[in-house]
Amino acid sequence: MKYVKLSTSLVVFVMIASAHAQDLSKKVKNFHLVRQVDDMGDTSVALGVNDTDGNPMLLFGCSGDEFKIMFGDNSSFNVTDNSLKVRWKFDKQKTSPTEDWGLSTDNTVIFVPREEKVEFLHKANKANLLAINVLVGPQYNISHTWKFSMKGFSELSKYLTCVK
Which domains, from first to last, does the chain contain? 8-163 (2.60.40.1880)
pTM (whole model) above 0.85: no
Residues contacting residue 71 through CB under 8 Å, at least 6 positions apart: 56, 57, 58, 59, 109, 110, 112, 132, 146
Q: State the Cα–Cα distance between residues 105 and 9, nearest whole angstrom.
A: 8
Q: State the Cα–Cα distance between residues 141 and 119, nearest whole angstrom.
A: 28
Q: Is the pLDDT of residue 145 over 50?
A: yes
Q: Is the pLDDT of residue 5 over 50?
A: no
For residues 85-94, one letter each, b for 16 or more C-beta atoms within 10 angstroms of the residue's C-beta and e for the rest, the string is bbbbbbeeee
At 131, is the pLDDT very low, low, confident or very high (cuts 50, 70, 90)? very high
Give the model confidence (pLDDT) of 24-64 as tens digits. Answer: 677 888 888 887 776 666 666 667 787 666 567 888 887 77
Q: Which residue has the higher pLDDT, 127 or 77?
A: 127
Residue-level pLDDT at 64 = 72
Q: Which residue has the higher pLDDT, 163 or 129?
A: 129
Opening angle at CA 91, ends 88 and 94, nearest 5 = 55
Q: Is the pLDDT of residue 11 over 90?
A: no
Stretch 114-131: mean pLDDT: 89
Closest C-alpha to 9, from 142, 143, 111:
111
Q: Is the pLDDT of residue 2 over 60?
A: no
Give strand pairing partners of 34.
25, 47
Are 42 and 36 spatial neighbours (Cβ–Cβ below 8 Å)?
no
